[in-house]
Chain A
């Protein structure tokens, strides 16, 4: 089971690696308008360092692998994104010690949000990554706990919520981070950290969707009951690993 969870994590990291490199110039450009013009470059350097450890990560249990992703990001990313992304992932990785399911995915997402807001001291509306993370995590939680949705559908709703959160940062003045020095000059630009958070969530959802698709192909040869089990199991796995960056 842990092998499959870690495999889902590696799939997600490969996708995130490709996406962050594709968006490197865009994120850095966004950051040049509101900050110190390093966000895209810092994240690209960080995720490259993570995927260089692919072979080591493949040997680890999920929680240890996720923790290693966090410590690598702390060491390599620098800036505010290093401690925010890396430190929050490190701290939340403990929630995955029993592997990946809807419950641990949600616990991870909440632990990540808590550590992120504690570390940065930002609240929703401060024009930071919190503006993407908070609605995403709350939506994920409601979808799982109240609406009883399958984790992959819950993640899709969370991604939509993060997307709205990013749009919400555009008209705001920043009160945290380097952008807060710019006052009104930051108004009219989306926040780079909220935007990179959305990109990562989108790749987690794509990973979950891909893996669910593969599972249903495999399960087409099994009987109905087994196929249903398989279809509900795999999205949950891919999903929780998604939530690790939520």
Chain B
């Protein structure tokens, strides 16, 4: 199954988003990598690289990120990791939920899960 990694500046935000998505897709490997190396607000390339390994069961990982340096650290972690991982250009919460629901389906691939995450960019709330 395609895995999802949620990268946020806040450890609480990352695990909270995973919690929300897991409610709708409990079988999908969902991993949170939030906070800086000292547990403060920030992102940590090493923790993200470890999260990629945790979320990868062989079919690849879609990575969802929040602000600025989350993108850079995620790109760097993807370069460092052996996992087949792609970064989604998507809002972190909505993208994660959309991708998780999609990934739970039997025909999901890495590409289609990435597309599902990125579909969330166009979601309207009103």
Write the residues of chain A forming the contact surface with B, with a CB cutoff of 8 angstroms.
Answer: 36, 38, 42, 45, 74-76, 78-80, 82-84, 86-87, 119-120, 176-178
Contact = CB atoms under 8 A, between A and B. Distances in A.
A84 B72 contact: yes
Contacts of A87: 45, 72, 76
B42 interface: yes
Contacts of A82: 44-45, 69, 73
Nearest to B44: A78
Contacts, number: 50
Contact of B46 (A42, A45, A75, A177): A75
B45 A178 contact: no
B122 interface: no
Contact of B68 (A38, A75, A80): A80
A76 B36 CA distance: 9
Nearest to B80: A74
A179 B68 CA distance: 10
A36 B45 contact: no
Contacts of B73: 82-83
Given A42-B42, A78-B38, 9 more contacts: A45-B38, A75-B45, A78-B44, A79-B42, A79-B69, A82-B73, A83-B75, A87-B45, A119-B76
